[in-house]
Structure 1
Amino acid sequence: KGIGADTRLGKKFLHAGVGFGGSCFEKDILNLSYMARTLHLDTVADYWMGVLDINKYQRDRFTQKVHRALNGNLKGKKVAILGFAFKEGTNDTRNSIAVHIIREISNERPKEIAIFDPGCSAAEIMEEVREHIKDERTLSQIKVRNNWRDTTEGSSAICILTPWYHFRYPAQAQA
């Protein structure tokens, strides 16, 4: 609560999640690490690299949880991804958490990875997916849906990766 009271941070950045994404945060941290290293502040540089290591660990840990929840086998199963933008309220998909999770999950050859994000078009989502996944067979498993119901129907796992209001309060979002 104390950190959240600081208006420079606020409460909105202090929620647990799968990690952070976006086009700037990782780049900025790499720049901080580089600057610290050039100033011979190796401990500081290592600290900033540790932030990126923890972020990757969070993504890997989440993927492993999905894997374990499906008894170690995603083959032939549908996985729903709710939220693709790097944060709620934007259509910016660059370096989103979702694309990293999808890449890892796709290695296990599920029947389908269904994606829905109320702020992103199918073209925006697939453009970012194609930046990270080149295999056509894998790409054919990835389907962008028009709503959360179609995305989740028949899914063995539902992964909420961007905390849109639609996903947190589905009944109110429809009213």
Structure 2
Amino acid sequence: LNLLYLCETYGLDECAQYWNQVILMNDYQKKRFSEKVVAKMFNTVTGKKIAILGFAFKKDTGDVRETPSMFVVRDLIQEQAKIHIYDPEVKREDMWTEMNYTCGVNHDNTPGLDEAVVTSPDVYSAADGAHALCVLTEWDEFKTLDY
């Protein structure tokens, strides 16, 4: 977004159009992932438990700024899924702050949010009884799980 702004500021229209298309493609990919999850679950995730492994924007960090995971979580909440998130570094309060700031998802406008989204203490409790498992951050510990 900053590159787009800079290009527009300096009159680099073609460059600005390029970066705008990159943003649009990234947004499309996030939405596409959510839609594929729903489609694979026979077009409904209402009441189904979906385990989200990884919320940070990349491994080895607790940084959640603009993480693609939050958009997937937002979309699945809107589809009334029961989300169980495990990330070894992300703090629950950081996750909710970013969800509210970037996606507008908060307790005021999303009734039952505490029941819809649970942060799990470990991978196996997040995955226990899940209808689907989505690995959204490439943490090394996810590579060696006993799936």
Q: What's the counterpart of residue 130 of structure 2? A: 155
Q: Which runs of 5+ in 2 are unaligned?
A: none
Q: Which runs of 5+ in 1 are unaligned?
A: 1-29
Q: CA RMSD, aligned part only? A: 1.5
Q: Does structure 2 conserve the Cα–Cα contact (< 8 Å) formed by 1:106 and 1:138?
A: no
Aligned length: 141
Distance in 2 of aligned mates of 1:129 and 1:144:
14
| CA displacement, residues 71-126 of structure 1 (integer Å, 9 cap, x when unaligned) | 1001110111100111100111122111111111111112x100000112233323
Rg (Cα) greater in structure = 1
Percent identical across equivalent pairs? 33
Q: Does structure 2 conserve the Cα–Cα contact (< 8 Å) formed by 1:114 and 1:145?
A: yes
1:143 aligns to 2:114 (yes or no): no
Q: Does structure 2 conserve the Cα–Cα contact (< 8 Å) formed by 1:86 and 1:97?
A: yes
Q: What's the counterpart of residue 68 of structure 2? A: 97
The TM-score normalised by the length of structure 2 is 0.88
Q: Does structure 2 conserve the Cα–Cα contact (< 8 Å) formed by 1:109 and 1:138?
A: no
The TM-score normalised by the length of structure 1 is 0.75
Q: What's the counterpart of residue 9 of structure 2? A: 38
Distance in 2 of aligned mates of 1:168 and 1:37:
42
Q: What's the counterpart of residue 79 of structure 1? A: 50
1:120 aligns to 2:94 (yes or no): no
Distance 1:35 1:130, change over 3 A: closer
Q: Does structure 1 conserve the Cα–Cα contact (< 8 Å) formed by 2:51 and 2:132?
A: yes
1:47 aligns to 2:21 (yes or no): no
